[in-house]
Structure 1
Amino acid sequence: MFPAFYFLLITVCILPTLPGLLGVVITALGYMPPLGLTQFSFNGFSQVLQWQGVEHAIALTFYTTAASCFLACLFTFAIIQTCWGARLWQRIESALSPLLAIPHVAFAIGFAFLFAPTGMGVRLLYSLLPTNLSTHAVSETALLINDPYGLGLIVMLALKETPFLVLMSIPVLQQLNIEQTQKVSASLGYNRAQTWLKCIFPQWLPKMRFPLFAIVAYSVSVVDVAQIIGPTNPPTFAVLVWQWFIDPNLQLMPRAAAGAIMLFVIGTILLGITVAIEWLLTQCFKQWQWSGRYGFALPGKSLFTLLLALTALIIPILSLWSVALRWRFPDVLPTRYSLRFWQLEWSHILSTINISVVIALISASIGLCFAIVAHEYRIKHQWHIPNYIIAIPMLIPQLSLLFGLQVLTLFSSLNTYLLWVCWAHLFFVFPYVYLALDGPYRSYDQRLTQIGLSLGKTPFHVWLKIKLPQLSSAFIFAWVIGISVSLAQYLPTLMLGAGRISTLTTEAVTLASGSDRRITAIYALCQALLPLGFFILARRINQRKTINV
């Protein structure tokens, strides 16, 4: 039974990577028989390079990705350097779930509502500062939303990815035996800041390679967030490639596919740069690690407080805009409130919520079952597909895979768009669920299973009565992670659904491009609260289990 299920998950969640990449490569070379393109050529790449402003778009992608990932890594190290082992750390761990639950799109819309030239931040400045100073502040904050330098995109991505890196740092730090390292360093005269910088950082950074790869791949290919707060003329290269994909002239499809290939190359180069910087800091130039006792403490507490405050402000700001009937600038609060927009949109948004939840539940539940099968197969047969292969959908820009997957669905001649969207979500959900269960499975004591088997119980009965109660909390948490990942998918929904499937994410991104702020706030608020509600539900279930035990 296990081999059959394992083969099924490989077929559904791993093997499509090959035709996905192959499809985009063939199309980039100009071979699309349904469109009358039967000769291989490099015209698609020529069209990409001849596009006016493409060099600027590529440079923006390099710059914003590298800067945001560097800042996220710096913020993460500052937080763990200052707070690991302190009383504040328990609060940080408790706050990670709600921070991770809010999708990137909802965070980006709230960030835009806060820092736009007429946003809440500017309104507060007008109320607190004299007119001349507040006018100067408005001109400065205007650089954060749709600015030509991508500063707002960098800051927003860095802040949003920091909780993910902090979460990934927890098992890494648990392996490094921090307490003993600090005692030995203290006996040599090093303070806390020196210990973390010279002793722990060189061990921590190499073990964070995979999480850093994941945020590099996401940042280089992000489309939804870049459309909301990123540069617009020209946009980042990922947004430019997406605009080519939705061009009504299908004869130009090789140009879009060539752009997807170039996006994959850009992502690969950035991953190589990440490894090179890690090697330079930890292996090549080591003198800084023993050159005296100089060390510096980063403001980790202040950074985490800022991150928590910004995230906490998002839901109140979105709530205010959703019920604001009249809100003149620079008033801090609306002068008139109304539920008119909720009443107008409720019937449509309810159907959108239903389809979003259905897709998320299907993809997360199947992904959880596949992840359990994969881990059980690894334990039973002592063989498994390496983690980096399972994580390929996390490490490759989505546009570079989705076009090939879209071409693959066309050969089936089936117009079951909901099925294709669920499959696309499952394809990207499964790696997150699998990796979320990797730590709990490795920490599970297999001797408990051996004792159950020695008592004459069947393997299924042992798993149901012994292992399941031990890992049920991890299963619930991984399932909720899968739901939140599915609810945040934008490109898979649009491309595999052919525009016929609308979710909260696709609607929120579309409305954020220029619709009424009140309607945009309604969809962004629902998108933020939905995964947060699932995380709260999972936490309540786990707490109740703990009380009953």
Structure 2
Amino acid sequence: MHYDSKLAFSSEIDVNPMLALIFIVTLLLFASPLIIGFVGILAPAAAWLPALNMHHPSLLGWQQLFSWPDLSHSIGLTLLTGVGSTVLALWWCYLILRHFWLTTQWQKIERLLAPLLAFPHVAFVLGFGLLFSSTGWLARIWHHLGLADTLYPILIHDRYGLGLLFALAIKETPFLLLMSLSILKQLDIRRLYDVSVSLGYSHQQTWRSVILPLWLPKLRLAIFAVAGYGLAVVDVALIIGPTHPSTLSMLIWQWFTDADLTQLPRAAAAALLLLAIVISTFGLLRSLEWWFLSYSTAWQYRGAQSTHSRNSKPSSVIAILCNYGLLLLPLIMLPILAMWSFALRWRFPDLLPSRYSLRFWQQQLEPLQQLISNSIVLALTSSLCALIMVIICLEYRQKYHRGIPTVLIAIPMVAPQLSLLFGIQIAVSFVTGQHFWLWVSWSHWLYVFPYIYLTLDGPWRSYDQRLDQTARSLGLTGWQTWWRVKLPQLKPALWLAFAVGCSVSLAQYLPTQMLGAGRIPTLTTEAVTLASGQDRRISAVYGLLQGLLPLVFFTLAMMFAKQQTSETPTTKVTL
């Protein structure tokens, strides 16, 4: 036994410095692009670009930006679509939780969240366009119902961005629901609900006055992530967003991809302006939260109020149908994309195609092989590296009680991608050589790492460390304890986190385009490119594959996790 303790002590000496070293390297790899991104955007915004014979800082970029005639309209559209989609998604999330949380139907909704989150934004928006366009499926049903064409809602490239607003709200609602799961379980909603009802509060009063003030502040980070994405979204806006004028993120993207490099100062200034808008919006949302909660907590002085609800059953049925419709709408896009990908002839206003064919799949078979290969390699590489580094960071935090700050982890999730990647792309341009695969993989890793970290943070905190102490007392070394005791317990969570990372990587558009300079095409980049004017049947092929690939990763992860759970019902330590 004396020899075993010495062996364990020597193992600690070998492992601990390596653990600390990898933690520091991970911290540098994660923090350096954030610093480079924010600092690298300042030079072009100040019109200091020696490569373009701009050797002296000036306000040229800002002058060009504010002289743009449609700038105020673009900022207004950005705020309308970004803030509007965030508030609408939050409201829908609250309504769904209020109607289903304490019912048996919630288990069905919870099982739907994984495939809904795995479905990428681009694939959903491609199906959204095929459903709500002027010749889409809804327009065909509208025509057969005999309704006037003038009453048909225009949601694709509409001037007010309402289609973009609704699409973002529908797609972000499952994300807010998933973030609410752990929050509501920690709050013990059943106990709060029973006590409130016993004091005379109705169902709606309980959720509005008791549960909402506890739930909303804990959801703040997720709300900021949704708002940051909605304000700076590019790929979704390219497909269904307004065009004349467009959102501010679309303007920045057009100026950045312009062949005239003298537009870079204006694009950099606009990227800084977008960053300022996002930060100001966070402050606005925080102020609205404080005002709303200060009003909601006034129930402590008012007490229960009597409510007389008539026709509650029909209204509840309508609410259930609407809420289920919001959740099922993203999944409806898959059959729509599949039908369009096989449609050879589909006249308007026929509800179904008159002829089907494999022609478009056969035409795209050769380029699809390379695109799928690039997408899978990037997803596996970035997710595997992020998973290993997240495990090391969590182990370091558990051992030394020092980890990566949550604020730093959240920056890639809430900061606008355009502002961050603009500076990184400018900084990378100074590095000699064409290392496009390295830069794109690094950028994917940067956005995959936070999601995997937050996915594994809960399981690591809830792990019972007494199992490790028992295993060490029986003579196992630190590495043996982790491999034979801790890993089997956390393996289902690791599989889920890996699938989350792969789905995040597969959905990346801007990092692949900006740091890959168009030389590393993926399913996402090609789907967005083909959505702007190409044959909608070819777009449906790419959208369908882009939507199915993350579902494959999630399905495999759930199978492996379920298999692991059935194989290791209890933890056994064998000496």
Tell me which interval the TM-score lies in, with the shorter structure as reference length: over 0.9
Which of 209, 225, 229 is the matching residue for 2:236?
A: 225
Using the TM superposition, give the Cα deviation of residue 174 of structure 1 relative to its aligned residue in structure 2, in angstroms: 1.1
Q: Partners in 2 of 1:261 and 1:402 — Cα distance? A: 12
State the one-letter code of the partner of 2:305: R
Unaligned residue ranges in structure 1 (runs of 5+): none
Q: Partners in 2 of 1:29 and 1:378 — Cα distance? A: 40
Q: Partners in 2 of 1:25 and 1:492 — Cα distance? A: 19
Matches within 5 A, 1:188-203: 188-203=199-214
Partner of 2:320: 301
Matches within 5 A, 1:73-472: 73-127=90-144, 129-130=145-146, 133-136=147-150, 139-141=151-153, 143-283=154-294, 286-287=297-298, 291=302, 292-293=304-305, 301-472=320-491
Normalised by the size of structure 1, how large is the TM-score? Answer: 0.96
State the one-letter code of the partner of 2:520: I
State the one-letter code of the partner of 1:361: L
Deviations 1:80-103 (A, max 9, x none): 111112111111111001100110
Which of 51, 70, 80 is the matching residue for 2:68?
A: 51
Alpha-carbon contact 1:75-1:300 (below 8 Å) kept: no
Partner of 1:476: 495
Using the TM superposition, give the Cα deviation of residue 302 of structure 1 relative to its aligned residue in structure 2, in angstroms: 2.8
Q: Partners in 2 of 1:51 and 1:491 — Cα distance? A: 24
Q: Partners in 2 of 1:290 and 1:426 — Cα distance? A: 50
Of 78-87 and 356-365, the range deviating more from structure 2: 78-87
Using the TM superposition, give the Cα deviation of residue 310 of structure 1 relative to its aligned residue in structure 2, in angstroms: 1.4
SS in 2 for 1:16: helix
* Alignment CA distance shift 1:113-1:288 (3 Å): farther
Partner of 1:485: 504
SS in 2 for 1:325: strand
Deviations 1:420-461 (A, max 9, x none): 111110011101110111111111111111211222211111
* Alignment CA distance shift 1:395-1:457 (3 Å): same
State the one-letter code of the partner of 1:220: L
Alpha-carbon contact 2:209-2:297 (below 8 Å) kept: no
Partner of 2:12: none
Partner of 1:519: 538
Partner of 1:10: 27
Larger Rg: 1 or 2?
2
Partner of 1:501: 520
Using the TM superposition, give the Cα deviation of residue 287 of structure 1 relative to its aligned residue in structure 2, in angstroms: 3.1
State the one-letter code of the partner of 2:184: L
Which of 58, 82, 87 is the matching residue for 1:65?
A: 82
Using the TM superposition, give the Cα deviation of residue 63 of structure 1 relative to its aligned residue in structure 2, in angstroms: 1.0
Using the TM superposition, give the Cα deviation of residue 300 of structure 1 relative to its aligned residue in structure 2, in angstroms: 5.5
SS in 2 for 1:144: coil
Alpha-carbon contact 2:171-2:330 (below 8 Å) kept: no
Unaligned residue ranges in structure 2 (runs of 5+): 1-17, 310-314, 569-575
Q: Partners in 2 of 1:419 and 1:57 — Cα distance? A: 34
CA RMSD after TM alignment:
1.5
Q: Partners in 1 of 2:161 and 2:245 — Cα distance? A: 11
Using the TM superposition, give the Cα deviation of residue 513 of structure 1 relative to its aligned residue in structure 2, in angstroms: 0.7
Partner of 2:549: 530
Q: Partners in 2 of 1:12 and 1:411 — Cα distance? A: 18
Deviations 1:499-544 (A, max 9, x none): 1110011000001011000110000000000001111111111222
* Alignment CA distance shift 1:508-1:247 (3 Å): same
Alpha-carbon contact 1:80-1:300 (below 8 Å) kept: no
State the one-letter code of the partner of 2:23: Y
SS in 1 for 2:344: strand
Partner of 1:24: 41
SS in 2 for 1:493: helix
Of 491-500 and 411-420, the range deviating more from structure 2: 411-420
State the one-letter code of the partner of 1:223: V
State the one-letter code of the partner of 1:185: S
Using the TM superposition, give the Cα deviation of residue 411 of structure 1 relative to its aligned residue in structure 2, in angstroms: 2.3
Q: Partners in 1 of 2:342 and 2:534 — Cα distance? A: 16
Using the TM superposition, give the Cα deviation of residue 186 of structure 1 relative to its aligned residue in structure 2, in angstroms: 1.4
State the one-letter code of the partner of 2:186: Q
Using the TM superposition, give the Cα deviation of residue 42 of structure 1 relative to its aligned residue in structure 2, in angstroms: 1.3
Alpha-carbon contact 2:142-2:152 (below 8 Å) kept: no
